[in-house]
Chains A and B, each alone.
Chain A
Amino acid sequence: MILLTVGTQLPFDRLVRAMDEWAKANPHIEVFAQIANGEYIPKHMEYVGFLGQKHFESLFAQSELVIAHAGMGSVISSLISAKPVVIFPRRASLGEHRNEHQLATCQKLSSLKGCYVAHEPDDLYSILDEQHQLEGGAIGPFANPQLLQTIENFILQ
Chain B
Amino acid sequence: MKKKKVLAVASKGGHFIQLMRLKPVFDRCDTSYVTNQKRCDIKDLTCVVDANRNSKLLLILLFLQVFWVVLIKRPDVVISTGAAPGYFAVLCGKLVGAKTIWLDSIANAEELSLSGQQAGKFADLWLTQWPTLAKENGPRFGGRVL
Contacts and interface: CB of A to CB of B under 8 A. Distances in A.
Interface of A: 7-9, 53, 70-77, 79, 101-102, 104-105, 107-108, 112, 139, 141-152, 154-157
B142 A104 contact: no
B86 to A, nearest CB: 14
Nearest to B100: A154
Given A73-B15, A76-B18, A142-B22, 8 more contacts: A8-B13, A53-B39, A72-B107, A143-B21, A144-B143, A147-B21, A154-B125, A155-B101
A124 to B, nearest CB: 21
A142 B142 contact: no
B99 interface: yes
Contacts of B28: 152
Specify the main secondary structure of chain A where it touches its partner.
helix
A147 B125 contact: no
Interface string B47-65: 0000000000000000000
A141 B24 CA distance: 10
B146 A156 contact: no
A150 B25 CA distance: 10
Nearest to A76: B17
Contact of B21 (A101, A107, A142, A152): A142
B6 A101 contact: no
Contacts, number: 113
B79 interface: yes
Nearest to A79: B146
24 contacts: A7-B13, A53-B38, A70-B107, A71-B107, A72-B14, A72-B15, A72-B18, A72-B106, A75-B14, A101-B111, A107-B109, A142-B23, A143-B143, A147-B142, A147-B143, A148-B22, A150-B143, A151-B25, A151-B101, A151-B142, A154-B99, A155-B6, A155-B77, A155-B79
B22 A151 contact: yes
Contacts of B103: 147, 151
8 tightest CB-CB pairs across the interface, nearest first? A147-B143, A146-B143, A150-B142, A72-B14, A73-B14, A73-B13, A143-B21, A104-B110
